[in-house]
Every structure is written in structure tokens, then in C-alpha cells.
Amino acid sequence: MTLRRVITDEAPRNDNPYSQAVRAGHTLYVSGYGPVDPDSGEDVEGGIGAQTDRVLSNIEAVVDEAGGDGLDDVAKVTVYLTDLDDYDRVNEAYDARFSEPYPARVCVEVSELPGEVDVEMDAIAYLE
């Protein structure tokens, strides 16, 4: 089994000891992303909908760079929210980016996320 790092400037990078994603065979494990703009390195503003959209853009960029077809190749997503009262608004933004059949998904409330963000997601994609 070959593991490789996927590095793209279209998604945020940091100095922490983990890869943006790791590919193992046909499976791509995408690390957790918050709503960070890759150009400025700043968290996006505009509420949970805008944050969710930015997170999904970051995941999409990593999947694309790994040779996939963006969000169409995502099989599973885990959503981390600091407030489950945002669940419906996250679903609206999520629904605008994914089409049926939707990926499998888990959504959990967490006490805190890195930075001052309200949402983070990781994903698993299948690449041919």
C-alpha cells in the first residue's frame, strides 16, 4: 500500500504535523478543515453558511489535487459543530454543494474547534 501526501495551495496549509490528505490505494482520507481562506489564511466571515461553504471548498480542492472529481468523489463526511442549533443552516449550505446520492455523514457537537470557528469537516473520498 502506498501512502502519499497531497499538497495544494487551493486549501489551507499549516505547520502542524499532518498531511492535507493521505491516499491509500483508491481511498483518500482528507484531514479536518475549518473555514480558512487559503489565500489570506484568515477565517471567513458571514456566518455558518459561508463557513460551511468554505470548508467544502477546501475539501473539494484537496480531492481535485489528488486526482479526483471534487465533491462528487466524497463518500463520507464528518461534520463537527460547536453549536447544533446551526445544524439546519449547515444542511442548507451542504445541500447546495452535494447532489444525490449524498455521501454518508456524521454530525457531532464539540465544545471547541481550533481558532474561532464554528464548523470543521473531514472526508473520505474514493478515487479511481
Q: Give 55-84 pLDDT, tens digit per residue.
A: 999 999 999 999 999 999 999 999 999 999
SS3 123: strand
Q: Give 4-41 pLDDT, tens digit per residue.
A: 666 777 787 777 788 899 898 999 999 999 999 999 98
b/e for 59-88, b at 16 or more Cβ within 10 A? bbbbbbbbebebbebbeebebbbbeeebee
Fold (topology level) of 3-126: 60s Ribosomal Protein L30; Chain: A; (3.30.1330)
Q: Is the pTM of this model over 0.75?
A: yes
Q: Which of 111, 119, 105 is nearest to 51 (CA)?
A: 119
The confidence score (pLDDT) of residue 116 equals 82
Catalytic residues: 107
1 vs 44, which has greater pLDDT? 44
What is the pLDDT confidence band of residue 112, given thresholds at 50, 70 and 90?
A: very high
Query: Which backbone phi and psi does 62 adopt, to 5 degrees?
Result: -70, -45
Q: Which residues contact 24 (CB under 8 A, 6 or more apart)?
A: 1, 2, 3
Task: Give me the mean pLDDT over the 104-127 stretch.
Answer: 95
SS3 87: helix
14 vs 97, which has greater pLDDT? 97
